[in-house]
């Protein structure tokens, strides 16, 4: 078998453009996922039963079903309810955000629970509301502790975002498929695609390591 | 200042407080002592609703404790000092002290900073304003915690075993601060094992055992002429 290096070189710019799209989806999804996850994570710890039950149902549903099925639900099933088509980009971001939110919620829940309960008591005893204590005392401390698992979630989402290629959204994986359809260079292209994913995840994991170390030095400040 | 009537607290099946009636007057220093598990900390925590009473009535400064709105109001009037300090580790000493005045009392930054520095001077830690809690000794942390509670200008201060987590040589510096407070006329409820403090500073001593108030009286009457057998047994072990 010949390795067509020229094909790799020619396809590389196209694949890189796809990689940029992949990063975009991941950033947006984990970004929205962070917001969703922060509130759902707090909701899971709520004393209000209904809030807690709803949050738990959401997390259980998302974690108990494949992302691929969730993408289909939003791209193919939801339009039947809405009565109109959904743009693949919107569908991809929505599916990934809602998915990421559930995982981030669990990370936040664990992070919040890891903070000594004396902190909440101290805040409340000073007359601060639950929300104020969360915002100024609990969350800032929890956030530093959850940087490593959030980094892992980011890496997982970066890889899982390849699934949105099935609804025709042109990110890295889909770009690869399209090039192969034209050139039949399965081996070269998939290897290149894998390599680009690896570079991205490797860079992020180093970045997370760095952040983790930095916060370990001034652990608490 | 604080009136407690028929207070019960249950944790599931565990009946921790079995009908407490007590009254704390303005400017009074009440020391609560008793064996561990007697419910003294729980009683203290019920006064600012960190534990929700199962039954009974608590009125603080004319405000009956009930409902979320009331609770925050009462808590701004009731300062609490914890056994384990519970300083906010991600904030400097000064930020620890100014946070609640800024967010709850809506004080201006300049005003809050001034209050913080005045209080730090009072507890003898003027030079630590910009330090972080983990850079301080236990005794220093507890003094910051006292300053933090005082910054809200509370009418009552609750102390939950404030010296129990401290090395022996740091106990005095914390007790001295508490003594100063008491001399200035602060209303204080103190759960402690420091009998010297109870004797010297307390206006009244309450002895609790198994969720009930067994005996109370002035320190002198209490330490020299306890009436109940249970009190005598306890005192004989610790004095």
B6-54 per-position pLDDT tens digit: 999 999 999 999 999 999 999 999 999 999 889 999 999 999 889 988 9
Taking the CB of residue A55, how many other CB atoms lie within 10 A of it? 21
Per-residue pLDDT at A76: 94
Our CA-based measurement puts residue A115 at a distance from the nearest CA of chain B, in whole angstroms, of: 11
User: Could you tell me if A195 lies within 8 Å of chain B, comparing CB atoms?
Assistant: no
B129-169 per-position pLDDT tens digit: 999 999 999 999 999 999 999 999 999 999 999 999 999 89
Is residue B215 classed as helix, strand or coil in its secondary structure? Answer: strand
Q: Check: CB of residue A193 under 8 Å from CB of residue A136.
A: no
Q: Which ipTM score applies to this complex?
A: 0.91
- Statement: residue A215 has pLDDT above 80: no
CB contact under 8 A, B149 and A126: yes
Taking the CB of residue A48, how many other CB atoms lie within 10 A of it? 9
- Cα pseudo-dihedral B114, B78, A126, B93, rounded to 10: 40
CB contact under 8 A, B99 and A126: yes
pTM of the model: 0.86
- Orientation of helix A186-217 relative to helix A172-183, angle to 10°: 160
Substitution target from A122, A138, A140, A144 for chain B, most B beta carbons within 10 A? A122
* CA A104 vs CA A50, A62, A73, A159, A212: distances in Å: 20, 11, 21, 16, 18
How far is the C-alpha of B139 from the C-alpha of B227, rounded, in Å?
36
Would you state the structure tokens that stand for residue A83, as one six-digit string?
Answer: 């009565």
Our CA-based measurement puts residue B1 at a distance from the nearest CA of chain A, in whole angstroms, of: 18
User: Could you tell me if A147 lies within 8 Å of chain B, comparing CB atoms?
Assistant: no
How far is the C-alpha of B39 from the C-alpha of B8, rounded, in Å?
10
Q: Looking at the partner chain, which of A127, A132, A144 has a beta carbon nearest the beta carbon of B76? A: A127
Per-residue pLDDT at B71: 83
Question: Mean pLDDT, to the nearest integer, of B71-90?
Answer: 92
């Amino acid at each position: 078998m010949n390795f067509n290096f020229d094909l790799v070189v020619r396809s590389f710019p196209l694949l890189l453009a796809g990689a940029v799209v992949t990063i975009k989806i991941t950033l947006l999804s984990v970004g929205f996922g962070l917001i969703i996850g922060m509130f759902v994570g707090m909701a899971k710890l709520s004393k209000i039963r209904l809030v807690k039950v709803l949050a738990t149902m959401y997390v259980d549903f998302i974690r108990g079903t494949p992302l691929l099925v969730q993408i289909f639900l939003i791209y193919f099933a939801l339009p039947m309810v809405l009565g109109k088509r959904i743009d693949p980009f919107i569908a991809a971001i929505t599916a990934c955000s809602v998915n990421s939110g559930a995982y981030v919620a669990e990370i936040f829940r664990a992070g919040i629970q890891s903070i000594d309960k004396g902190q909440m008591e101290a805040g409340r005893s000073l007359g601060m509301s639950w929300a104020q204590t969360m915002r100024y005392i609990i969350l800032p401390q929890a956030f530093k502790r959850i940087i490593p698992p959030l980094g892992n979630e980011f890496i997982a989402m970066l890889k899982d975002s390849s699934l949105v290629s099935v609804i025709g959204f042109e990110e890295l994986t889909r770009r690869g498929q399209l090039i192969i359809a034209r050139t039949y260079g399965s081996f070269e292209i998939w290897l290149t695609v894998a390599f680009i994913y690896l570079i991205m995840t490797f860079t992020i994991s180093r970045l997370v390591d760095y952040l983790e170390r930095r916060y370990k030095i001034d652990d608490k400040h | 200042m604080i009136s407690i009537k028929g207070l019960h607290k249950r944790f599931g099946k565990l009946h921790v407080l079995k009908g407490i009636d007590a009254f704390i007057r303005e400017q009074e220093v009440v020391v609560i002592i008793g064996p561990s598990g007697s419910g003294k900390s729980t009683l203290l925590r019920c006064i600012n609703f960190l534990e929700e009473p199962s039954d009974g009535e608590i009125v603080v400064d004319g405000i009956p404790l009930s409902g979320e709105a009331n609770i925050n109001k009462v808590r701004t009037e009731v300062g609490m000092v914890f056994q384990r300090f519970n300083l906010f580790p991600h904030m400097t000493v000064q930020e620890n002290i100014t946070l609640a005045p800024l967010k709850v009392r809506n004080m201006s930054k300049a005003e809050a900073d001034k209050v913080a520095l005045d209080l730090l001077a009072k507890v003898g830690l003027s030079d630590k304003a910009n330090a972080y809690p983990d850079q301080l000794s236990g005794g220093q942390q507890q003094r910051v915690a006292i300053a933090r509670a005082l910054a809200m200008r509370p009418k009552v201060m609750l102390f939950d075993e404030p010296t129990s987590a401290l090395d022996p040589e740091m106990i005095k510096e914390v007790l001295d601060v508490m003594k100063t407070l008491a001399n200035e006329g602060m209303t204080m409820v103190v759960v402690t094992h420091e009998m010297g403090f109870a004797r010297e500073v307390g206006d009244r001593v309450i002895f609790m055992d198994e969720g009930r108030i067994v005996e109370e009286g002035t320190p002198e009457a209490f330490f020299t002429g306890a009436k109940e057998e249970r009190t005598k047994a306890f005192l004989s072990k610790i004095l």
